[in-house]
């Protein structure tokens, strides 16, 4: 990992601490609809990371888990979602998109992210985005794992 990569990761840490921890507001995490395994992995990874940084995060979706494989993931991991209808932007310190860029028709048009983590580079519009890490890489979960490894020193992926 380069020093530029580490600087970017620590910029994310600063944003979470400033806009979520100190402001005492949770982060809202959205993926594309319907969520797929990469959305689940990266969303849960960010929720875990934000908690380790002293904050709180909620996953939002439209209430539909269509594919049987995804239903199994939700049931086994006991993933709790809030419904998009419950989302009020003023209640959140950060709005984060995982595995989807902005704009994208698979996310409600009136929800604008502060932060984007994605591996699809072709649709990205960065205007007014506070922070983004979008790279052509295998999965968004891989990007999030780098953040966890850097910011959670006692993280053990084998546990």
> pLDDT, tens digit, for every residue of 5-59?
999 999 999 999 999 999 999 999 999 998 888 999 999 999 999 999 999 999 9
Considering the entire predicted model, what is its pTM? Answer: 0.93
Q: Pick the closest to residue 159 from 147, 148, 143 (CA basis).
A: 148
Q: Pick the closest to residue 98 from 57, 69, 127, 63 (CA basis).
A: 57
Count: domains in the chain? 1
Flag whether 157 is in a domain: no
**Domain range for 22:** 3-151
Flag whether 16 is in a domain: yes
Measure Cα distances from 38 to 19, 92, 106, 113, 117 in Å: 26, 23, 15, 18, 11
* CA separation for the pair 44, 59 (Å, rounded): 8
How high is the pLDDT of residue 136?
86
The three-state secondary structure class of 149 is helix
Instruction: Let me know: does 27 contact 55? Beta carbons within 8 Å.
Output: yes
Flag whether 156 is in a domain: no
Strands (E), 27-140: 27-31, 57-61, 81-83, 94-98, 115-118, 131-134
Flag whether 69 is in a domain: yes
Is the model's pLDDT at 124 over the cut of 70?
no
* CA separation for the pair 47, 21 (Å, rounded): 13
The three-state secondary structure class of 124 is coil
Q: Residue 116 maps to which CATH number?
A: 3.90.1640.10
> pLDDT, tens digit, for every residue of 17-32?
999 999 999 999 999 9
């Amino acid at each position: 990992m380069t020093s530029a990569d580490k600087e970017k990761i620590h910029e994310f840490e600063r944003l979470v601490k400033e806009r979520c921890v100190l402001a005492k507001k949770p982060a809202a995490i959205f993926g594309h609809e319907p969520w797929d395994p990469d959305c689940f992995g990266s969303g849960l990874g960010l929720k875990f990371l934000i908690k380790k940084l002293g904050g709180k995060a909620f996953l939002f979706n439209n209430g539909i888990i269509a594919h049987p494989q995804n239903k199994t993931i939700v049931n086994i991991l006991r993933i709790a979602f809030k419904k998009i209808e419950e989302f009020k932007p003023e209640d959140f310190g950060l709005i984060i998109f995982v595995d989807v860029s902005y704009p994208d028709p698979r996310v409600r048009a009136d929800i604008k992210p502060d932060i984007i983590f994605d591996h699809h580079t072709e649709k990205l519009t960065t205007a007014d985005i506070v922070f983004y890490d979008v790279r052509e890489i295998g999965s968004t979960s891989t990007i999030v794992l780098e953040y966890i490894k850097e910011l959670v020193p006692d993280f053990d992926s084998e546990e």
